[in-house]
Amino acid sequence: MIKAIYNHIDLLYIFFIVGGDKNIKNGNVEVMNDLNNPYNPGAGAPPPELAGRDQVLNEIKLAIQRAHIGKPPRNYMLLGLRGVGKTVLLQRILGDVSSENTVQDLEACPDRSLPEQITPILYRILIDLDRKKRVGHGVKRALGLLHEFAAAFEVHVGEFTIGTSGPKASGDLAMDLTDLMVAVGEAAQQRGVAVVLAIDEVQYLSKTDLAALITALHRISHRQLPLIFLGAGLPMLAKLAGEARSYAERLFAYPKIGRLDEISARQALEVPARTEGAEFTDNAMAEILKVTECYPFFLQVWGDFVWRIAESSPFLIEDVEKASISAIEHLDSGFFRVRYDRLTDTQQHYVQSMANRGPQPVKSAEVAASLGIPPSKAAPIRAQIVKKGMIYSPRRGEVAFTVPKFDEFILRIM
């Protein structure tokens, strides 16, 4: 009788300490609820634990610090498939260095010219430099150049006036953008700060626009001005940059951002769970790593659905297996489907043939043969899909999907 009373008191203690909305199941305290779910699978959303990226983060931060103290900076292009966390890395870096530097970023849009996209960004940079000190000659000159640049390329940014009139722009994008960005770099040098300009989805810039941007950055590098460029894009970006300007391979570092190693993938899942008092069994963890292939975005998706479905911690392999059904349905109806529906019927047939060829990458000649058309007729179709950012060429004569596990989705819906 006395023992039963003490057991009852223990249960009441757990109830009040852990919370009245928690239940006791199989001797474990139930900790999962939607409010406490630590996983964040949104597009470009920062994960609760940014695991496995310390080396590239520290390398780029060092480059920015060098620019800040007047040392020659190095520019970067982060390369990787969809869902590996390139955007997250850019935003983390900008957030970490924004207090001591002037930072601005944009996401390149395929339907807008570079002058349209970069003009308001450079304007905000100059306004920020202006706030750091009373307007001086450098900022005034840069604002004048920006005004003429916007006029020359018919850029309309709301109704604001960019600046006073300056030297007339030539109308040559590479020349005018170079003059403008050099002026921005000189203004930053006068202020004793560094400018960090970040552009995501760089592969969507036209060849002309990309060439002009590289030309400007090349001049800034020669002048050792404190302006550092951080770009991010799909794997074909290095090739596009090289085709735009031959010296691009020496102007940029191209860190490859891929899937995580198993230790980092475990960390990405375990650390957030532990902050909420939960954990994974070894079998459950092994199953998630297997099904997600350690891609950061998929790790967040599976962690999110395991949290929703599991009744208690530790999470079991059965929880992961149930979560996988919901996670795949979720991805198929949104993440994958949206991209697939952007393709025309002819383009869908092309990617279906790619998926049927087996593990990626596949031979483009074999894809053409399976479609019953010569490679010369398949090439324009392939080029259109590449332009939409759905496939790329990892090596000459090969094609692969830019979205991990996209081939599995196609096979499921065929």
- Residue 6: per-residue pLDDT: 39
- Residue 167: per-residue pLDDT: 53
Confidence label for 276 from pLDDT (cuts 50, 70 and 90): very high
- Residue 9: per-residue pLDDT: 38
Q: What is the mean pLDDT of the chain?
A: 89
Q: pLDDT digits over 340-380, tens only?
A: 999 999 999 999 999 999 888 999 999 999 999 999 999 99
| Element spanning 359, H or E | none
Phi-psi region of 224 (alpha: psi -120 to 50; beta: other; left: phi over 0): left
Residue that the structure tokens 């009139």 belong to: 165
Task: Judge contact between 268 and 299, C-beta under 8 A.
Answer: yes
- What is the set of domains in the chain, with CATH numbers? 31-46+260-338 (1.10.8), 54-253 (3.40.50.300), 342-413 (1.10.10.10)
The stretches of 357-413 forming alpha helices (DSSP H) are 364-371, 375-387, 406-413
DSSP codes, 223-277 = HT-SEEEEEEE-TTHHHHHHHH-TTHHHHEE--B--PPPHHHHHHHHHHHHHHTT
- Residue 147: per-residue pLDDT: 85
Weakest mean pLDDT among 14-28, 44-58, 346-360: 14-28
Strand order in the sheet with 227-233: 102-107, 195-200, 227-233, 75-79, 252-253
More confident residue, 267 or 136: 267
- Residue 115: per-residue pLDDT: 95
Region 246-275: mean pLDDT is: 96
pTM tops 0.85: yes
More confident residue, 160 or 177: 177
The answer, yes or no, to whether residue 15 has pLDDT greater than 80, is no
Region 198-213: mean pLDDT is: 97
Side-chain-side CA neighbours of residue 320 (13 Å): 23
Q: How far apart are CA 370 and CA 191, in angstroms?
A: 61
